[in-house]
Amino acid sequence: MAEKKIKVKLLSYNKNSIRTVTAAIRQCYSSDGAAKISRKVSSEKAKKLIQQIISSGHTSTIEHAVFTFAIEGVSRAMTHQLVRHRIASYSQQSQRYVKEGKLDYIIPPTVSRNKVALKVFNEAIIAANNSYQKLLELEIPAEDSRFLLPNAAETKIVMTMNARALMNFLKERMCVRAQWEIRVLAQEIYKIVYKVAPEIFKYAGPTCETEAICWQGKMHCGKKINKKKQKVEVRERI
């Protein structure tokens, strides 16, 4: 079976997110209403305000920018990690109602690079799927037959996150210590959101690249960090 490629599509986002976030920032300090404030702020001023609030860590105002993604070609193992990011909404393909026919599954790179391991892996998946199909033939409900399906089973999921939750997701999951599949997903999401809202996401990513610190503490990867380095402009990482 050929390796499946993660697919991420931005289904929707508030296209005036920068102006919306700026209005929310200024609302905290203005007697005017947000609608009036948003008309007054120039694009250059908006960029500076967003940079200031992200640098200060007072990022509740960027929650007003919201993004929805369609995600395909990922494993159940990965989505079990993904849904741990709780400030989000998820709608996942159901194994109760969507019966598997020819089971699509995700093969880890470490397995695909090892011929012996790949043979063991594929045989186990095929055996599990054959047993699953036999249970269905015996009229065992799909919700019970699916107990045999592996974590490698391919799934599809829709995810909605606000910008603040996304910043946290990208900080943790673009880190080299993140599991490979969710790291690839984070990189794909970063490419998309940076393109549509660079004013916000130019500061996204692992803290070793954005803040010259490691949020993992003693669990760091060993990468050397310049302690004198200040928060930097975004650079090509992926």
As given in the structure block, the two tokens for residue 29 are 């300090």
For the question of residue 173 being annotated catalytic, the response is yes
In our burial notation (b when 16+ CB lie closer than 10 A, e otherwise), range 212-229 reads eebeeeeeeeeeeeeeee
Q: Are 10 and 57 in contact (CB under 8 A)?
A: no
Contact between residue 83 and residue 158 where contact means Cβ atoms under 8 Å apart: no
- Which residue out of 76, 146, 164, 173 is catalytically annotated? 173
DSSP 180-213: HHHHHHHHHHHHHHHHH-HHHHTT-S-HHHHTSS
Residue 81 CA to residue 41 CA, distance in Å, equals: 39
Return d(Cα 201, Cα 134) in angstroms, integer. Answer: 49
Q: How far from 32 is each of 36, 158, 194, 215, CA to CA, in Å?
A: 7, 37, 31, 39
Q: In the numeric block, which tokens belong to residue 206?
A: 């692992």
Tokens standing for residue 125? 């998946």
Residues recognised as catalytic: 173
